[in-house]
Chain A
Amino acid sequence: MFDLVIVGAGIAGQTAAIYAARKRMDFVLLAKEVGGQFLESGEVLNYPGILKTTGVEFKLLMDKQLEFNEVNVTEGKEVKKIGKIEDGFRVYCDSDTYDAKTVIIASGARPRGLNVPGEKEFARKGVTYCSICDGPLFSGMDVVVVGGGNSALEAVDFIKDIAQKIYLLNNGKEFNAHEYLIERVLSYKNVEILLEADTKEVLGDKFVTGLVYEKNSILHSLEVQGVIIEIGRVPNTGFLEGFLELDEHNHVVVDCQTRASVEGVFAAGDCASGHEYQYVTSAGQGCMALLKAARYLANKKL
């Protein structure tokens, strides 16, 4: 039986693993893929001690740091379920299981979908959730950005000189974003703002050709070749249903010490309640979860 299983190798899980390795704990780091959401962020300008970097640079540096600390990531493992066993927990993957005395859940979050017809069908055919990945492909095209938060407005800012015409479609009455971003986006001549507009369908043949939205109970359609969806994120916690307490948005409920509702289980980063989708908060929580897990083991003499 391991001392610890860490589920997820984004920044929270990697931080926990570095500390666990330095404490010489007997642990395993399970991950579907290493790096997680690192690869969806562009510039990073607010990590203490690092003036300026990008998601990829950060990821590559973390790879080196894992190697330096002799952390092995067991990659390609998607956790399906966690259950209680005597003196610990059993973590179920597709073809194998891992038993441990404690578990740290750091499974992160993923982009929220619109859940409208055509969205899945045209994914990677004009529908995208990653503007820095696919934004430059819309050169000279008309594009709609769906959303009203920082990510949506950043997407508009990023493609303003790439796309021809940009519709910014938000279902709310106003934007929920940094003031400087709102001012910037409002100043662009090629951006048309559509508020209180509900997306109903993505249209297309081989690729995206348009989008249907409803405003004031009337259906309208836009002719666009690109649909960028930035309407927030959902935590990757489906495998935890019934095992521990989740909040109304399915985040793992944790206290101020990263403890989940089941004794011996801790959670950190974007999958946990109180998340802020920041590198630095995830790193901090990953560290705390590991230290609390180590203390739990010592107190229980496990």
Chain B
Amino acid sequence: MAKIKIYSTPTCPFCRMAKEFFKEKKIGFEDIDVSADRAVASELFERSGHMGVPQIEVNGKIIIGFDKAALEQELKDV
């Protein structure tokens, strides 16, 4: 089973869509609210080079935004 982390904020619509995507597929994920913890946010942005949400980590690889095609591809490879 893939290990998935969704870095999100409470108001971000695409984060919500991303969570729905995984729920529909019955794939569990860890939801990390980056607006609640600046240290986590900074670390993520430094690591990915992108300042925005959602960012979705699938098995250590970060996918920027809610990119359905990229997610499908990554899940297939797992």
By a beta-carbon cutoff of 8 Å, the part of chain A in contact with chain B is 38-42, 54-56, 59-60, 76, 124-126, 128, 132-137, 139-140, 162, 206-208
Contacts and interface: CB of A to CB of B under 8 A. Distances in A.
A108 to B, nearest CB: 16
Given A42-B11, A125-B50, 18 more contacts: A39-B14, A56-B13, A56-B16, A59-B13, A59-B17, A60-B20, A76-B69, A124-B65, A125-B51, A132-B12, A132-B13, A133-B13, A136-B9, A137-B51, A137-B53, A139-B38, A140-B38, A208-B51
Contacts of B20: 60
8 contacts: A133-B9, A133-B12, A133-B14, A133-B53, A134-B53, A136-B10, A137-B34, A137-B41
A187 B73 CA distance: 49
Interface residues of B, number: 23
Most chain B CB neighbours (cut-off 10 Å) among A39, A41, A128: A39
Contacts of B9: 133-137
Given A42-B11, A76-B69, A137 B52 contact: yes
B14 A136 contact: no
Given A128-B52, A137-B41, A39 B13 contact: yes
B64 interface: yes
Contacts of B34: 136-137
Contact of A133 (B50, B52, B64, B69): B52
Interface string B34-45: 110010010001
B60 interface: no
A139 B37 CA distance: 9
B11 to A, nearest CB: 5
A-B residue pairs, 7 tightest by C-beta:
A136-B35, A136-B9, A39-B13, A124-B52, A56-B13, A133-B12, A56-B16
Nearest to B34: A137
Given A136-B35, A137-B9, A207-B45, A56 B51 contact: no
B12 A136 contact: yes
B64 A40 contact: no
A125 B49 contact: yes
Nearest to B12: A133
Contacts of B35: 136-137, 139, 162
The CB with the most chain B CB atoms within 10 A, among A38, A54, A136, is that of A136
A124 B12 contact: no
B43 to A, nearest CB: 13
A286 B13 CA distance: 24
A124 B50 contact: yes
B51 A126 contact: yes
B21 to A, nearest CB: 11
Contacts of A139: 35, 38, 41
Contacts of B52: 124, 128, 133-134, 137
Contacts of A134: 9, 12, 51-53
A124 B12 CA distance: 14
